[in-house]
């Protein structure tokens, strides 16, 4: 083969991937990799990392039955209920307001629904906006139904999540991975060896002195960041507008059927998140200062380069995301799918890794901006941004806030991690009322608009009234015969 042909030859395909970690993130990553790699012959080896599961309770809210959720790896919400002690959720209760997952209202006349809502309801608030989803009415009476054709109203369809027991879910994911030939190192990770004068990893040494070599190394060790720590190119970028918190996690025993929602409460001292399950409630407290004996520092931010040479950090190893919005599992699955789509050869060429880093950072900027909007509102003593000075936030959030406050439009973003409707819902929840509504929305006479929205509301209320009680739905799922498991 001549020199030109050699240069044009495809790089050798990756055939070995080593994953560091042993908590929920590591085993979610392994299962997403198994699903995404498909028929490719890639050996996966997991090296446990002590302490990498310290904050696993943050991941009890998991999106279900969707491409970004556990449905992508063959785990239905019914399986999570039977095998992982999961209950179901339609959304959140944020400072007393029910905020559903999925769409709110129906777009029409070529405009997003929130423009019509703002024109027809200038004196109304978030409780009224979110009532344009059947999930909101269902949450108020502790009812639940999965999204399907029966309860869809045109293109209006709610989403769901599961509150799964982290320990049981981790065990289920590990068992599924082992059945598919994934190997576990007999000893936990002790050290990382790198090429002289380079960040390239040459091998992982466990506590028994054994070395695991791979073509690609995946760091899922959470805040330990066992692989990326020590790399010369590793640097941390704090999230603009978000302080360093102390985080404390505890469990509260409970009896009875949990509500089909989680609870998020803000106050002068920070945030409190309660995630109810059938046997207990997980309570997560985030505050600048706390006397909780198990509290540890939690600094929102991300790595400047999640992918460094032949090592990619995923999940909390790549970024610490404030759990105000339950996006952690989605960010993990999106990152893995992106990694697989850009999967380079064993040389891990900068072209692919640079593109991955660019896309990951645009997603992280958007997620941090969303959390910073909540935090900015919290400092007002209540979740209200109606008259607040924008303050020291990232320029991208400043642009979004100003545009929505002026005319109700959502500024275009490089990232598509969040939908414009997600931003509209959060801004309305936080009390932002545009100074003027869209002129395009004025094309329909106000009386016609009000009549149209009244008919839509009637359909929504009728649909929600047919949802069974969460208790009855959960009992039916647990008593039904188990379906044949889907393969990865």
Q: Per the domain annotation, does 488 fall within a domain?
A: no
| Interior angle at CA 476, CA 163 and CA 470, nearest 5 | 50
pLDDT at residue 387 tops 80: no
Please state the rounded mean pLDDT for residues 296-303. Answer: 92
Please count the other Cβ atoms lying within 10 Å of the Cβ belonging to residue 392. Answer: 10
User: Is 267 a member of any domain?
Assistant: yes
CA dist 28 and 480 (Å) reads 26
What percent of the chain has a predicted confidence (pLDDT) above 70? 90
pLDDT in the model for residue 335:
93
Task: Give the pLDDT mean for 98-103.
Answer: 93
In a domain, 485, yes or no: no
pLDDT band per the 50, 70, 90 thresholds, residue 296: confident
Which pLDDT does position 20 carry in this prediction?
97
Residue 415 lies in a domain: yes
Tell me if 211 is assigned to some domain: yes
Domain that holds residue 389: 12-442
pLDDT at 130: 93
With respect to residue 41, please indicate whether it lies within any of the assigned structural domains.
Answer: yes
Whether 485 has a pLDDT exceeding 50, the answer reads no
Q: What is the pLDDT of residues 207-239, one digit of tens each?
A: 999 999 999 999 999 989 999 988 988 999 999
| Range of 45-54, 68-77, 142-151 with top mean pLDDT | 142-151
482 lies in some domain: no
Q: Tell me if 161 is assigned to some domain.
A: yes
The percent of residues in the chain predicted with pLDDT above 90, rounded, is: 51
Contact 213, 203 (CB under 8 A): yes
| Total count of domains within the chain | 1
> For position 294, what pLDDT does the model report?
80
**Average pLDDT over all residues of the chain:** 87
Q: What is the CATH number of the domain that holds 42?
A: 3.50.50.60
- pLDDT higher than threshold 60 for residue 124: no
Overall average pLDDT of the 150-160 stretch: 89
What is the Cα gyration radius of the chain? 23
């Amino acid at each position: 083969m001549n020199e030109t042909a050699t240069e044009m030859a495809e790089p050798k395909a990756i055939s070995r991937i080593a994953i560091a970690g042993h908590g929920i993130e590591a085993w979610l990553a392994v299962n997403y990799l198994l699903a995404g790699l498909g028929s490719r012959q890639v050996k996966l080896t997991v090296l446990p990392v002590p302490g990498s599961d310290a904050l696993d309770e943050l991941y009890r809210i998991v999106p279900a039955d969707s491409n970004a959720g556990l449905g992508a790896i063959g785990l239905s919400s019914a399986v999570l209920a039977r095998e992982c002690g999961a209950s179901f959720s339609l959304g959140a209760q944020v400072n007393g307001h029910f905020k559903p997952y999925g769409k709110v209202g129906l777009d029409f006349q070529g405009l997003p629904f929130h423009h019509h809502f703002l024109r027809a309801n200038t004196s109304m608030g978030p409780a009224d906006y979110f009532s344009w989803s059947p999930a909101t009415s269902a949450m108020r009476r502790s009812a639940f139904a999965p999204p399907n054709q029966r309860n869809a109203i045109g293109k209006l369809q709610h989403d769901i999540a599961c509150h799964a027991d982290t320990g049981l879910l981790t065990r289920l994911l590990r068992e599924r991975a082992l059945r598919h030939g994934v190997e576990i190192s007999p000893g936990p990770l002790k050290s990382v060896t790198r090429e002289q004068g380079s960040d390239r990893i040459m091998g992982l040494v466990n506590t028994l002195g054994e070395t695991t070599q791979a073509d690609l190394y995946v760091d899922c060790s959470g805040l330990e960041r066992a692989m990326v720590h020590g790399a010369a190119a590793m640097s941390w970028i704090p999230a603009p507008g978000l302080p360093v918190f102390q985080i404390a996690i505890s469990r509260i025993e409970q009896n009875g059927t949990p509500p089909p929602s989680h609870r998020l409460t803000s106050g002068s001292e920070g945030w409190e998140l309660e995630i109810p399950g059938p046997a207990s409630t997980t309570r997560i407290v985030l505050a600048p200062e706390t006397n909780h004996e198990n509290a540890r520092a939690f600094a929102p931010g991300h790595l400047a380069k999640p992918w460094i040479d032949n090592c990619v950090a995923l999940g909390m190893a790549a970024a610490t995301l404030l759990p105000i919005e339950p996006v952690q599992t989605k960010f993990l699955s999106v990152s893995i799918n992106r990694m697989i789509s850009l999967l380079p050869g064993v040389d891990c060429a900068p072209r692919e890794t640079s593109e991955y880093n660019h896309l990951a950072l645009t997603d992280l900027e958007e997620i941090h901006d969303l959390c910073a909007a909540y935090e900015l509102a919290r400092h007002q003593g209540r979740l209200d941004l109606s008259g607040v000075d924008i303050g020291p936030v990232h320029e991208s959030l400043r642009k979004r806030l100003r545009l929505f406050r002026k005319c109700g439009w959502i500024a275009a973003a490089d990232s598509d991690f969040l939908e414009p409707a997600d931003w509209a819902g959060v801004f309305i929840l936080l009390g932002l009322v545009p100074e003027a509504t869209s002129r395009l929305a004025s094309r329909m006479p106000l009386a016609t608009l009000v009549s149209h929205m009244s008919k839509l509301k009637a359909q929504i209320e009728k649909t929600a009234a047919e949802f069974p009680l969460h208790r009855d739905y959960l009992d039916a799922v647990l008593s039904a015969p188990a379906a044949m498991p889907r393969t990865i």
